[in-house]
């Protein structure tokens, strides 16, 4: 997101994220909303033909934080992912699913970055996520 761009919420989750970011919604209230909301998880696109995937195992976009912790990238909508994914062209696919499901499928010791690269985002440490699941 460019510095001079204003974050305009496009769905309920983004409204809640902005409210939390601005301090009018507590972190706990936001996490409650996030747990029952859909997020977009970019998936590596290893298609042989359009619409046909070779692997039954989805490969989500996992980044490495400065401290070496693996961080799963998720977004509040597919549109929020587009600018960030320009640097990761192999992640042309994606999955819209409940955040709670993402946590259930994720390995222990991973963090989550919600809207990485966007001015209005949220990083969750592995310790925080282990308390949620």
C-alpha–C-alpha distance, residues 44 and 93, integer Å: 6
Convert the pLDDT of each residue in 13-57 to its tens digit.
999 999 999 999 999 999 999 999 999 999 997 655 455 545 556
What is the count of structural domains for the chain? 1
Q: What is the mean pLDDT of residues 60-84?
A: 95
- Is the per-residue pLDDT at 2 higher than 50? no
CATH code for the domain in which residue 63 is found = 3.40.1350.90
Question: Which pLDDT band, with edges at 50, 70 and 90, does 9 fall under?
Answer: very high
What average pLDDT does the chain have?
A: 88
Domain-located, residue 45:
yes
Q: What does the chain come to in residues?
A: 133
Q: What is the mean pLDDT of residues 83-89?
A: 96
Domain-located, residue 4:
no
Contact 43, 49 (CB under 8 A): no
Domain-located, residue 2:
no
Range of the domain at 45: 38-132
Pairing assessment for the beta strands 122-124 and 93-98 based on DSSP bridges: unpaired
Q: What is the mean pLDDT of residues 95-118?
A: 93
């Amino acid at each position: 997101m460019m510095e001079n761009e204003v974050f305009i919420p496009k769905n309920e989750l983004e409204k809640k994220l902005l409210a939390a970011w601005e301090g009018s919604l507590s972190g706990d209230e936001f996490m409650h909303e996030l747990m029952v909301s859909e997020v977009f998880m970019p998936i590596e696109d290893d298609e042989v033909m359009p619409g046909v995937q070779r692997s039954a195992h989805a490969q989500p976009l996992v980044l490495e934080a400065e401290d070496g912790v693996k961080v799963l990238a998720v977004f509040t909508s597919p549109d929020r992912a587009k600018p960030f994914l320009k640097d990761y062209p192999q992640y042309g696919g994606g999955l819209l699913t409940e955040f709670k499901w993402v946590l259930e499928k994720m390995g222990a010791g991973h963090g989550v970055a919600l809207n990485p690269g966007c001015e209005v985002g949220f990083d969750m440490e592995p310790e925080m996520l282990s308390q949620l699941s």
